[in-house]
Amino acid sequence: MDFEIEYSTEQERFRAEVRSFLEANVPAAMVTTAAVESYTAEQYRMQRDLGRKMGVRGWLYPQFPQEYGGGGLDLDHVIILDEELERLGLHLPPYYDSGGKMGGPTILVWGTEEQKQHFLPPIFKGEVRTWQLLTEPGAGSDLAGVTTRAIRDGDDYVVNGQKVFVGSNNGAEWMWTIAVTDPEGPRHKNLSWFMIDSSLPGITMQPLELLTASGGEAGSASGEKQSVFFDDVRVPANCLVGGENNGWTVASTHLEVEHGGTGNIGRSRMREALFEHCRTHQLDGRPMTEDPDIRELLMDLYVDTEITRLYGLRNYYLAYAKKARTYEGPQYSAHRKTSNLKLTRTVQQILGYYALTTDPEYLVGEGHIEFMQRAGIVGTHPGGTIEVQKLIMARRIGIGSTPREKAGDLG
């Protein structure tokens, strides 16, 4: 089956419109290299600015309903927008707002009409940025074991607890989380899902000064992870989405997005950079690509990255065409994470120590290669580890669990 997309005259007209908009509104200084450290506050400001301009046109979250600030566009137009942003190393929905990418669809599926009207337009128009706050010091893979509490008191819930490895640099206006609302309740039925204003008294953000790199590439803006502390934070009761003690089911929507259920059309910039380097650099007096050992390694890398790309493309199509799916999200994620980790070794076999340096004199592929060496291991964790992806996949294809687990509800 061929998943590649062909475009009509009308779609090509839309592409030209998008391209000229981006040419006029994306300053050269905004496009980042792969090295996360090079992502500046000024570049972040420019990205937010672009996000707001796209939001006005409904292009920031193009597939979501216009009544909530989305674009109401069909799959073909969404893909064209995605492709045109991708040419600039940006991603859609917005590169700087992965929390909105997951929190938006969750509110669309689970929110009341009033909550949709309140929360969705600012997200879909790029007026706010949101973080997802799930992981805790004692609850990563075992996410249902979170201990942050939200106890009802009058018209508020009082939140106490700590989240870790969340957010990024440059702050966020909103954050969403799951917290225990019934301390005596059974596992999975004791949690609720909240959208929280990050300026509420009692919230403290503390950067984690670690060597980080996300699974993404240039412009992912996910450099610095944070700890977030909640000390007697009074959250209005109407910020609870999807019903009290129903938070685990609500979370299945954004976890489906995060586990890869909505796919990706992304190309591998690392692969392009590596191939270009090997074509234009010599080993023993001939281009590296003519060395039989290197050529074999490059083909191994091509096969793995191409499988990832095709899984991503398939899931993208399934999601936006609203087709049923079960295991496809975690399958994409498990393969992407496993092969990215394996390929760090392949790249080192090809380039040796050049793969590890950020020294401008020896840098390969504008930092995409060195970044990939760090992201290979770090990227196995965000959104659930390889083991977690395999476990979910097994449950969905009926291995080791009866009845089969369903995919998260994406509406």
Ligand X SMILES: Cc1cc2nc3c(=O)[nH]c(=O)nc-3n(C[C@H](O)[C@H](O)[C@H](O)COP(=O)(O)OP(=O)(O)OC[C@H]3O[C@@H](n4cnc5c(N)ncnc54)[C@H](O)[C@@H]3O)c2cc1C
Given the rule CB under 6 A, which residues bind ligand X?
132-135, 140-141, 165-166, 212, 214, 225, 378, 381-382, 384-385, 387-388
End-to-end CA distance of the chain: 26
Work out how close the CB of 79 gets to ligand X at its nearest, in angstroms, rounded to a whole number: 26
Q: How far is the CB of 156 from ligand X (least distance, A)?
A: 23
Q: Could you tell me which residues come within 8 angstroms of residue 170 by beta carbon, excluding any fewer than 6 positions away?
A: 41, 44, 96, 129, 221
The minimum distance between CB 232 and ligand X, in angstroms, equals: 22
Nearer CB in complex with ligand X: 214/308:
214
Helix-helix angle 9-25:75-86, to 10 degrees: 40
Cβ 166 to ligand X, closest distance in Å?
4
CA angle, 267 then 269 then 275, to 5°: 110
The least distance separating ligand X from the CB of residue 283, rounded to whole angstroms, comes to 34
Please provide the DSSP assignment of 52-90 as one string: HHHHHHT-SSTTS-GGGTS----HHHHHHHHHHHHTTT-
Report residue 84 as tokens. Answer: 């045109």
Q: Cβ closer to ligand X: 58 or 252?
A: 252
Closest approach of Cβ 342 to ligand X, in Å?
Answer: 15
> Least separation, in Å, of the C-beta of 48 and ligand X?
18
Burial class (CB in 10 A: 0-12, 13-18, 19+), 56: exposed
> What count of other Cβ atoms lies within 10 Å of the Cβ of residue 366?
16
**CB nearer to ligand X: pick between 82 and 97:** 97
- Looking at beta carbons only, is 58 or 192 nearer to ligand X? 192
DSSP calls for 150-201: EEEETTEEEEEEEEEEE--TT--SEEEEEEES-TTSPTTSSEEEEEEETTST
Residue whose tokens read 């990227």 = 379
Residue closest to ligand X, measured at CB: 140
C-beta closer to ligand X: residue 102 or 298: 102
- 188: number of Cβ within 10 Å: 12
- 133 vs 218 by CB, closer to ligand X: 133
Select 77 or 374, whichever has its Cβ closest to ligand X.
374
